[in-house]
Amino acid sequence: MMQNKLSYDVAVIGGGPAGLAAAAAASKADVKRVAVIERDARIGGILLQCIHPGFGLNYFHEELTGPEYAERFRALAIEQKVDFLTDTTVLSIGEKQLTVINPRQGISTIEVGAIVLAMGCRERTRGAIRIPGTRPAGIYTAGAAQRLVNRQNLMIGHKVVILGSGDIGMIMARRMTLQGTEVKAVIELLPYLTGLLRNKIQCLDDFGIPLMLSHTISEIIGKDRVEAVRVVKLDNQRQIIPGSEQHIECDTLLLSVGLIPENELSRSCGIEMDEVTNGPVVNQYMQTSVPFIFACGNVVHVNDLVDNVSRESETAGCNAARYTLGTLPVNSKTVRCQSGTGIRYVVPQQLVLDGSEDEITLNFRVTAPGGTTKLSAVQSADELTTRKVRRVSPGEMEHLTVKASTLSGGAPLQINSAEVME
């Protein structure tokens, strides 16, 4: 098969919201050739199937649907003369080189100055959570159901149970109700919501859909098609409470039980990975442990809002361009960020102390919901910055801004969360 060779200053892998924002930012930063490599036939990623409103409130200060939000960034990328290589899959990453394949040219080699990883994430399936029972038709991940209903105009069921209170699951509860389907319940293993509170209000409460916290499905019933699920209540140790079983008749089960960053490519090229986020370890420039590779969006950590993805990805794209141009600082002192009390993870995981910027934003998630909470950044017992918030939830991202000038090399920077009495 004929080998084709291409060359770009910055190549962005993934044409969703992260990839589009990164590519546009890279092109704005004065590099001449930028490409977005997308395995689907269309640019836009997951946003193309998210036809509900609620996007862009923070970034554009107006309410958009997913396709409208994607189109804003697609148009910006076109304006910046970004190339779109659609229907193209990246097979491997070498030393400043990509090997890709598509149905038109076959296998091609792309020489690059820098790479931005923006592949997004995928859903956990039934196999990942091991629900006992038969294997009938009618079991979908919430995202797969969303694609079938919104993009392919297919009705997937008439009586639906949703396992997991993730955002896609709650949004699909509303969507299926509007489609004329009866949504019996949203069932959540944990004693608290895992998605955004606004989605619970707008998608469940407004439509009278029950949310069953501290419950799970113990068995799927049905031979050819789902006929029912057996639901049980759990105690504080997540053990089944005897006598709590409920039999809920349904013909469809949607799974909204978590997202996994798409990082097979990242691991294949030896990037340092974070065991908690399952994404690359990055610094404030969104640069990974392989200097010419940057990462952004849900590849790094699963975000709550696409607006946050866009800003983070602009940082990655701009700094990938700076790396190519030779203007990104190197060989500077670093500080590791670590999760302290009540914190699940922190991104970026490493800060570069090069004097080029003072304010650095840290993104993190708490481990449990709470009321009024003090968030703090501490180094060597010195409290560098604090912020008080009215409520916290694991489903919503929190932020702190630290001044690089207050940091010293060596000791880690620890992020803490502590509920306070008012």
DSSP assignment letter at 326 = T
354 pLDDT more than 90: no
Report the Cα 275 to chain-centroid distance in Å.
Answer: 15
pLDDT in tens, 127-160: 888 888 889 999 999 999 999 999 999 999 999 9
pLDDT at 4: 64
User: Which of these ranges, 122-131, 269-278, 314-323, 389-398, has the smallest mean pLDDT?
Assistant: 122-131
Please report which confidence band the pLDDT of residue 405 belongs to, taking 50, 70 and 90 as the band edges. confident
How far apart, in Å, are the Cα atoms of 162 and each of 206, 227, 339, 412?
Answer: 17, 14, 32, 41
Q: Is 99 left (phi over 0), alpha (psi -120 to 50) or beta?
A: beta
Please report which confidence band the pLDDT of residue 2 belongs to, taking 50, 70 and 90 as the band edges. very low
Within 10 Å of residue 156's Cβ, how many Cβ atoms? 20
What are the structure tokens assigned to 368, written together?
């449990």
pTM of the predicted structure, to 2 decimals: 0.93
Secondary structure percentages of the chain, helix, strand, coil, to 5? 25, 35, 40
Please provide the average confidence, as pLDDT, over all residues in the chain. 94
DSSP assignment letter at 299 = G
Q: Which residues contact 368 (CB under 8 A, 6 or more apart)?
A: 192, 342, 394
pLDDT at 343: 98
190 pLDDT more than 90: yes
Cα–Cα dist 231/217, whole Å? 4
pLDDT in tens, 283-341: 999 999 999 999 999 999 999 899 999 999 999 999 999 999 999 988 678 899 999 99
| Average pLDDT rounded to a whole number, residues 79-96 | 95
Largest Cα span, the chain:
70
Taking alpha carbons only, the member of 257, 259, 260, 253 closest to residue 140 is 253
Taking alpha carbons only, the member of 113, 112, 88 closest to residue 100 is 88
